[in-house]
Chain A
């Protein structure tokens, strides 16, 4: 009956896996889901979890927990480590732990082989453990309603041992779903689906029995713990007994933290089978949650079992099964058995796939490829698959063999921990490889060998001694009686449980050798490049030189991927362009990566190398290339900087040049204008002088007229010269200013008096409005007078003849005194207003009559007013006269009302 159910369950597994594979083939992947990923990680919980935890809890209370707390902490702590592992593995098509380590350290085949051997040796006992659990629980269940301890089970002949058949069945399952075809990514979607399914079954079964025990057999947690508390022996379990100790607790956590990544099955699920790195984030909390859930009832079940079977007649490991049996719950017991079966089969399946990949890629293929017979074969894909299948069967048989031979005595838990310790030896090489560029191949090799040796000596041998294969004295007294070399108390370090003890020494040996040897030896070029690829997750530098023909590469690919696969791969790389004759570095790398998925990076490299004529780069050349590259970069940066500076300088020069040219032009203009202005009156003076000289018979009126012209022009000339000089002095700052207290009213009166004649001649009237009191201003009196004269004469000049009216107004505003001179002349257009204050510009260019004047008056006035701290401006509209105004600041202390 049990057999029927088991067979049914396994059939169900097959179905799930098949369905998963079908969905993957169609493209609607079943497992591309963060939750599925997290659930599949729960393959970590094997029959050890299912049965062994309870056993351990029965003797150490909560001492079983670190094994699950560790992974919880690790997925948070090492989340980014996992992510890095996934990324690098995907990029380089690394499909196993051994391949990863081998690839990191220069694609070393030796290293890959060593890792594989360690993995196999370390995991076989663990597999044996699973098979033992299945076998034992099967036999116990069969004896229902009798309850026996495992010790009473007695020996069972091979052919009647369910374990054996289970092993065979598992081999078939694994071959079917793990090695159907050669996939470059080594993903097995069906298998992962089955594993996730099994995780659910495990959890359900365990929760069921847990609930049953707690609430069915007892009346809840309180009742259960209360009853247990009454028994002092059992109550002792409530605290961490000296047996576990905090040291042991801590080491257990560390071990399981490493194991969650380094166990081949964990690596396979977490890294290789990972579909999307984003699934990691779900796993960070969902996976620990699963662990929590499956562990909640462990202590209750253990206590319940102790209470129920307090006499030691039943193996504590089997409480999970025997409790429901004792309570006459056959259905539940069957469920529990199936749960245990799930746990065991899940572990075995994934572990053997992982191991078979490692063995085929890192152990067997490199050896085979050395023999010409194999290297030349056309269809290597089949060879590889065959190797894997053989490996699977071999590993399972080895596991079963170990179980039969050596596994009968030990508790489940300790075997499991021994395996943990074995894979923990990979940690320095792996973590060092990820984060330390200085880790070398030799260092990793040394570390692995040293750690493994210590492990062998301190853990494996004693366990063999336990089962009688080695003399027990060996453990007690040390080899040849040397106490210091006792396997479980090396160099006198006793007081630790065997696992912790082994961890201390193996860690010391491993890390010490790794670091020591890495630092002691030189790194070769290829390794350094590989190191950079891993630590920096960098893209490949162009450190490859060689030549290969595309045809050769295609032939190589065809041997593994078939003709269609090879062509598809090459075309995909070419991305629409035509395939060249000669392959470039990128194509070669691509091909190598593709092959790595199938045969491991080391073998892939060997195969590609056989096809390609590579020119090996010596360290010098690599350094040269790297140097050159960095030099070129530095050089071009320098160049950029210089040219930027040059541009800036040129721009500056150009601007300066423009300014100078402009100034030059202005100067030229000024000089030529002044010359012109000077010569004009001179012309009249000379002409009339000569006329007067040459024509003595001119009548008196004409003579008078001409003489007057001479006089006027002379005056004009003088004025101009003076103004030019003034302006020049003002502009160059050489003018002498005599700032004193000035009475503006007085200035206005004086200038009005001086220009009176001008106004009279022009026929214009002049009105002056002065306020009664004016604050004195601080200014140079003569200059202010000059400004007034200028404004007044302008006003007079521009007045319409005979109708001119000029108004002068003075007032105080804020802290200035303001003077306005208004005329009723033609006005000044807005566009011209700024111009009139410039040198030699005069209002009136648009008129026929060029008014007398030098054109400098306003320019000088403005400069004077500016210098005195005031403003000079004009307000005017064409046809309505103009008002010139200026302000002068009031003298400090001179403010009046």
Chain B
């Protein structure tokens, strides 16, 4: 399954992951507050994580 496009897009997704879970972006959410009753940072991390997984899944599906 050689689709160079797919590898590149996945690499891009990985880079996105770095961004999402890296200092600049995370610091935004690193606050001691509750949103909908749950800690902001924790919620952000889980949501971002789920989003990244969804992106990866979409990438490999579409390129099939």
Are any A and B Cβ atoms less than 8 Å apart in their complex?
A: yes
Chain A residues close to B by CB (< 8 Å): 61-62, 65-66, 69, 72-80, 220-223, 225-226, 229, 235-236, 238-240, 246, 249-250, 253, 277-278, 281-282, 284-285, 288-289, 292, 296, 299
B interface SS class: helix
Bound-state Cα–Cα, A66 to B20, Å: 12
A250 lies within 8 A of B22 (CB):
yes
Query: B residues 5-64 with Cβ under 8 Å of A?
Result: 7, 10-11, 13-15, 17-18, 21-23, 26-27, 30-34, 36-42, 45-46, 49-50, 52-54, 56-57, 59-60, 64
Chain A nearest CB from B28 CB (Å) reads 12
Contact of A253 among B15, B21, B56, B57 (CB under 8 A): B21
Interface residues on B, range: 35 or more
Contact of A238 among B40, B49, B50 (CB under 8 A): B40
A240 lies within 8 A of B41 (CB):
yes
With contact pairs A225-B39, A238-B40 given, residues A285 and B1 touching in the complex (Cβ less than 8 Å): no
Contact of B60 among A61, A235, A284 (CB under 8 A): A284
User: 5 A-B residue contacts at CB 8 Å?
Assistant: A77-B11, A235-B32, A238-B40, A253-B18, A282-B60
A73 lies within 8 A of B57 (CB):
no
With contact pairs A76-B11, A239-B32 given, residues A222 and B37 touching in the complex (Cβ less than 8 Å): yes
Contact of A277 among B1, B27, B31 (CB under 8 A): B1
B49 lies within 8 A of A76 (CB):
no
Bound-state Cα–Cα, A240 to B59, Å: 32
With contact pairs A79-B10, A284-B10, A285-B60 given, residues A238 and B32 touching in the complex (Cβ less than 8 Å): yes
What would 15 more interface pairs be, CB under 8 Å, given A221-B38, A222-B36?
Answer: A61-B42, A69-B21, A73-B17, A76-B11, A76-B52, A77-B17, A80-B10, A222-B38, A226-B34, A238-B40, A239-B30, A246-B23, A250-B22, A285-B53, A288-B56
With contact pairs A229-B34, A246-B23 given, residues A77 and B50 touching in the complex (Cβ less than 8 Å): no
B33, B40, B42, B54: most-surrounded residue (chain A CB, <10 A): B42
With contact pairs A76-B14, A226-B34, A239-B30 given, residues A62 and B41 touching in the complex (Cβ less than 8 Å): yes
Chain A nearest CB from B9 CB (Å) reads 9
B60 lies within 8 A of A281 (CB):
yes
B31 lies within 8 A of A239 (CB):
yes
**Chain A minimum-CB-distance residue to B63:** A281
A296 lies within 8 A of B46 (CB):
yes
| Chain A residues, CB < 8 A from B18 | 73, 253
Contact of B45 among A65, A223, A282 (CB under 8 A): A65
| Chain A residues, CB < 8 A from B57 | 284-285
A66, A77, A235, A278: most-surrounded residue (chain B CB, <10 A): A77
Bound-state Cα–Cα, A246 to B39, Å: 18
| Chain B residues, CB < 8 A from A78 | 14
| Chain A residues, CB < 8 A from B56 | 75-76, 284-285, 288
Chain A nearest CB from B47 CB (Å) reads 10
**Chain B minimum-CB-distance residue to A292:** B49
Chain A nearest CB from B19 CB (Å) reads 10
Bound-state Cα–Cα, A66 to B48, Å: 13
B37 lies within 8 A of A226 (CB):
yes
B41 lies within 8 A of A221 (CB):
no
| Chain A residues, CB < 8 A from B14 | 73-74, 76-78
| Chain A residues, CB < 8 A from B37 | 220-223, 225-226
Chain B nearest CB from A643 CB (Å) reads 35
Bound-state Cα–Cα, A197 to B57, Å: 23
B11 lies within 8 A of A299 (CB):
no
| Chain A residues, CB < 8 A from B7 | 79-80
| Chain A residues, CB < 8 A from B21 | 66, 69, 73, 249, 253
